[in-house]
Chains A and B, each alone.
Chain A
């Protein structure tokens, strides 16, 4: 999948202009996109057992969360450390809407995306004037605030105990439990396709170019008429919708909700997916989500050593390839292409 899509270059100068020569033509990208996701859609034919499909579904959810984070963190340059709170809001919005308000699961799924978007707009207000590390701290504080409110309102949210028996999704009369998870697999894949399509169209649009311009040269972008207030809100809101939906899907799939989604460990995993993949690519985060999720499963036998090996690998990749896995793939692809060309 990786070599067919060839994500756009990381160079800021090139990324800032929508029609720079170094960019992949949209037709090439569309072909890679369709081929890549068609391959993913064929995976249940190879992996028949429920557990392998479960791993893939989790990888899809992580991929949605990580790639949306790449929009605000990578393209927007907004160090939003409350991204996982938006995911958590999706989880709890879905759980409470279906359990307490008896919403239809699909309506609740969509509503969770909207609620996460509203929350993102709300959190943008205090960070409009802030830069860099201060944004990290406020958004981090926001995430903690949401978690603390959920813990303290235990009568509704279940507090630290969490919620169980959350209604799952349905597809007509299809039996969601006895189909080897194939329905959930294709719903998760469809969500990932929709989210990725949305993100790629967004970053290739004029709005996408303007948020990159704000990141790379704020004064110049503002002087050329880009509104930092509007674009920052747009960035955060755009990154929140599918994140919230992913949270809702996660709750529907797991059938329970717990405050673990606000914890540092999940945030660290997802953040390493974004950075390991290479920021400002969208595809990088998705690839890294697959790599890390499958890698974590593959190392299940190592027990306590697993998080340590993962940590060492993350540090190693970050030190050797600052532009992440995508940079690594590009470097090796470039070397390979150079070697193939030479004899001719």
Chain B
């Protein structure tokens, strides 16, 4: 019983974090057609900004939303400076990899210079612990498990039920036609990056609440988000969400039965096999489009 509860809980918790990260990556990929390698750094920066605001004396309820909004601005600026000028170039996919990696390195080292290498922690969403099914869990983790699906549902509503969200999906499906019907494609590109960055920032705040933060804290989640996105199919929002939880459970089960060392190797093995059989991802339809 306790084994099952542990895997279930671990899977839900990790899956929530992966989903928050992967959705942003998928959003940027579908709208702009590039991979944002500074996504992990967004996560780190969100956490550090939140920490700084709390340190300045703001209550967490104010500091966290402010940090998320600031991250949206950071995403917009990054898009305008290192992605937008390259749009239309033949080798954009490759060049954006290097410019976003370089921008990530800039932000990471900037954070290291400003905040130093010492580990920090931000307050949990809800303090305290409890026991469910024989497994001790913190209320912070339960809060994450509950909040994440709500945020993802809100994102889904935004993409499917609002004019702006529909415009974003239109750009993802057909950029030329979007230009023709008068959509501001440049602004929508910025919006995709802004949403992705604020989701990553929120994931960083979640993570900073239960684990020590460091300037390199984003690199491992970025890697996991990449796997999730490949696994679930790059061309949708729902695919990566399902895949995030699936991989969360897979990891929880693996580390329970095979140990922590073998989990990443097994995960990458499964990933490569998936791509050999279904290159477009297991949950993907064959067309490129959002939601």
Residues of chain A touching chain B, judged by Cβ–Cβ distance below 8 Å, are 73, 79, 125-126, 129-130, 132-134, 136-138, 140-142, 144-145, 148-149, 151-152, 264-265, 268, 271-272, 275, 279, 304-305, 307-308, 310-312, 314-315, 318-319, 322
Contacts and interface: CB of A to CB of B under 8 A. Distances in A.
Given A133-B234, A134-B275, A314-B98, A148 B264 contact: yes
Interface in B169-224: 219, 223
Contact of A133 (B93, B102, B103, B112): B93
B94 A264 contact: no
A79 B265 contact: no
B268 A129 contact: no
B60 interface: no
Name A's interface SS. Answer: helix
Interface in B43-69: none
Given A264-B219, A304-B109, A311-B106, A142 B95 contact: no
A272 B110 contact: no
Shortest 4 CB-CB contacts between residues of A and residues of B: A145-B268, A311-B106, A148-B265, A311-B102
A141 to B, nearest CB: 5
B128 interface: no
Contacts of B106: 307-308, 311-312, 315
A315 B261 contact: no
B82 interface: yes
Nearest to A126: B276
Interface in B220-277: 223, 226-227, 229-230, 234, 261-262, 264-265, 268-269, 271-272, 275-276
Interface of B: 29, 35, 81-82, 85-86, 89, 91, 93-95, 97-99, 101-103, 105-106, 109-110, 112-113, 219, 223, 226-227, 229-230, 234, 261-262, 264-265, 268-269, 271-272, 275-276, 279
Nearest to A154: B261
21 contacts: A126-B275, A133-B35, A133-B93, A133-B234, A136-B97, A138-B230, A138-B271, A138-B272, A144-B223, A148-B265, A152-B262, A264-B101, A268-B102, A272-B102, A275-B94, A307-B106, A310-B102, A315-B82, A319-B86, A322-B91, A322-B95
B262 to A, nearest CB: 6
Contacts of A73: 94
A144 B219 CA distance: 13
Contact of A307 (B97, B109, B261): B109
Of B29, B101, B113, B262, chain A has the most CB atoms within 10 Å of the CB of: B101
Contacts of A142: 268, 272
A272 B33 CA distance: 21
Contacts of A265: 105
Given A311-B102, A319-B85, 9 more contacts: A138-B275, A142-B268, A144-B264, A148-B264, A272-B101, A307-B109, A308-B105, A308-B109, A322-B86
Contacts of A310: 102, 105
A142 B103 CA distance: 25
Contacts of B29: 133
A308 to B, nearest CB: 5
Given A132-B93, A304-B113, A319-B86, A272 B227 contact: no
Contact of B226 (A130, A140, A279): A140
A120 to B, nearest CB: 15
Contacts of A308: 105-106, 109-110, 113
A314 B97 CA distance: 12
A130 B268 contact: no
Contacts of A140: 226
A10 to B, nearest CB: 10
Contact of A272 (B98, B223, B230, B275): B98
Contacts of B268: 141-142, 144-145, 148
